[in-house]
Structure 1
Amino acid sequence: MKKYLLSCDWGTTSFRLRLIERADSTLAGEVLSQNGIGQTYNLWQSRENDGLSREEFFRQQLQEHINALARQVGFSLDGVTIVMSGMASSSIGMQEIPYSNLPFALDGSGALMQHFGVQPDFPHEIMLVSGVRSDHDVMRGEETQLIGLVETAGLPENGDVIFIFPGTHSKHMYVRNNQLIDFKTYMTGEVFNLMTRHSILRDSIELNGSGEFSAKKVEAYKAGVREAGVTNILNALFTVRTNQLFSLWDKQQNGMFLSGLLIGHEIQYLLQEKDWQLVLCSGNNLYELYRMAIEELQLSERTVTIPAGMVDKSAVAGHVKIFSYQKSTLNKLNL
């Protein structure tokens, strides 16, 4: 089974396990689940009296997903190594591992690893990958995606590049000479969810469920992006309510205005980072919003966009890179 590798991205709220061929990273099968680290940890805590250690319980949960993947592909996966990243190495994960420090090399050598050997009831070696910390920020999982993108996207190894990963907690990662030298986290998606579901603004907004953007919605969105550059964010948020009270926008347009306000506030500072190339790494759900914001702020000329499909496979590419480096290092030590 040495031709295969199990790539596991285990986040706080989701789980993704992919069987890939090591030679060319071809996807052979995939299992997705909402059984994230948070839910798994809570389930373990509720069953502590069963006598299973946290590591044993996480292995048990992981084995269920491996069994499902084996049924999908039609053959046993015993003996296939697992490379696992994300929140699995956190304080609520399988085992907490200290963060790597900056600068963080993107050739696979910068990753801190915890190796777990084959067990009688778990016939898989596990390589658990830690995250990265700076003096003011932390992340787990995105660094593996970054390693994968630098490997596959064909970007120049020299020069100053900011990689933008939109999401619930967006990451802006500063790369110089194939090293991550700094990064920033923006709670853009989480603040949007809080504002639309739990704040006074919820009655002024209707979410755009269709994903289609009419001219009026685009106009409202771009107005929000522009407003982010001239108004204090705490004051600007309240204008979402007055937009509706004064009938300036309908509720769907107002939702787009809020989105533009938050995303605009996230990326506004990039106007000052004039010597840095920008790389937008976004899936399909957020790509168009970030593209429009970048265009409205006139950042398009120095922005490269990574296709959504490549972003989707970046964790796999990162796992392969880390695995290859680790195996190469072990082979040299055994010479």
Structure 2
Amino acid sequence: MRLFCDWGTSSFRLFLVNEQGDVVTHTASSQGVSRLPRAEQPAYLLAQAQQLVTSPADLDVLICGMAGSGLGLANAGYQACPADARQLARHLVPVTVPSLGRVQLVPGLSDEQTGADVMRGEETQLLGWLCMSELHQHGQHRVCLPGTHSKWVQVQEGVIRGFSTAFTGELYGLLVSQSTLKPATDSHSDEGFQLGLDASRSKQPLLNSLFTTRSKVLLYQMPAECAASYLSGLLIGTEVREFSAAGDGPVHIIANGRLSALYAKAMAFYQLECQVHQGDGLSVAGLGKIAELM
């Protein structure tokens, strides 16, 4: 038995896994690293482990996500792309948590080949995606991981060759909560999202198009209840149009729920073939792959 942990900025998931890699039981909470001071995190991890097993002192713990950032248990740093599971397994960072076995953090990935990009947590999901199918481990693939900071990743022959980040999710959150574009309601509107996709294809500069979220409502060109989804469609559509230009073949989307549906709709709008993969379970599979190579 061992423990796998996916500890993000705003979420915590801990899994008890058997020798075959199957999840025996798990626990989850909203206690991400941003909500717990670093000094309190070891005790929290131990308390959660004790919910799953009476005596966790003999269990190894492998952790991915923001627990390896400056906010977490320790800074696990980044490994440069191109990178694969073996490289990540060679550079795990040990941390001491009293009353637990060997605790190790998975490093993130960096890409300085064409700029400056980093990811932390998504690399483990990508390893899980690679484990899903032999087909994923051969040839070239484009993978999109939507989220606060969406990642567009190039995978070749099972190796993460490079990636780019889109600030889409965080920008949307800031605009709808702290700007003059703040809509009257944030309920989803299919009409509004489609109008946003249409706007993303126009030749207007994005900084101008963003303001039309407000001006279209003021000029009665769009119902106020469409504004939030219009902004979402504009940003996601712009992301898909700009980031999908690199590479060929279908785009593999790793996401859950409505977010995966929105990205799939944007892909269809731009006539891009895509395949949607649910993100649940991929982190566990990725941690399992790293554990095999330790």
TM-score over 0.5 (shorter chain)? yes
Alignment equivalent of 2:284, drawn from 304, 312, 316? 316
* Structure 2 stretches lacking a partner, 5+ long: none
Structure having the higher Rg: 1
> SS at the partner of 1:192?
helix
Identity %: 29
With over 3 angstroms needed to count, the CA separation of the structure-2 counterparts of 1:253 and 1:104, relative to structure 1, is same
* C-alpha contact (below 8 Å) 2:142/2:248 kept by paired residues: no
Give the match for residue 325 of structure 1. 293
Distance 1:27 1:15 in 2: 16
With over 3 angstroms needed to count, the CA separation of the structure-2 counterparts of 1:179 and 1:122, relative to structure 1, is same
* Structure 1 stretches lacking a partner, 5+ long: 45-53, 212-216, 327-335
* C-alpha contact (below 8 Å) 2:172/2:235 kept by paired residues: yes
Give the match for residue 167 of structure 2. 187
Q: How does 1:271-286 map to 2 (within 5 A)?
A: 272-273=245-246, 275-286=248-259
> SS at the partner of 2:93?
strand
Give the match for residue 215 of structure 2. 242
2:275 counterpart of 1:304 = yes
2:6 counterpart of 1:26 = no
- Please list every run of at least 4 consecutive aligned residues from structure 1 whose deviation after the TM superposition is greater than 6 angstroms: none
Q: After superposition, what is the alpha-carbon deviation per residue over 1:236-265, rounded to whole angstroms, capped at 9, x for unaligned? A: 011011121122222222221111001011
Give the aligned residue type for 1:304.
Answer: Q
Distance 1:268 1:205 in 2: 28
Aligned Cα RMSD in Å? 1.9
Alignment equivalent of 1:109, drawn from 87, 95, 100? 87
With over 3 angstroms needed to count, the CA separation of the structure-2 counterparts of 1:78 and 1:110, relative to structure 1, is closer
With over 3 angstroms needed to count, the CA separation of the structure-2 counterparts of 1:27 and 1:251, relative to structure 1, is farther
2:144 counterpart of 1:164 = yes
With over 3 angstroms needed to count, the CA separation of the structure-2 counterparts of 1:254 and 1:123, relative to structure 1, is closer
Q: How does 1:191-210 map to 2 (within 5 A)?
A: 191-202=171-182, 204-208=183-187
> SS at the partner of 1:168?
coil
Distance 2:225 2:156 in 1: 41
Distance 2:246 2:166 in 1: 17
Q: How does 1:34-53 map to 2 (within 5 A)?
A: 34-41=30-37, 44=38
Distance 2:132 2:86 in 1: 13
Distance 1:163 1:286 in 2: 15
* C-alpha contact (below 8 Å) 1:9/1:86 kept by paired residues: yes
Alignment equivalent of 2:43, drawn from 30, 35, 60? 60
- Number of equivalenced pairs: 289
Task: Give, in angstroms, the shift of residue 109 of structure 1.
Answer: 3.4
With over 3 angstroms needed to count, the CA separation of the structure-2 counterparts of 1:155 and 1:206, relative to structure 1, is farther
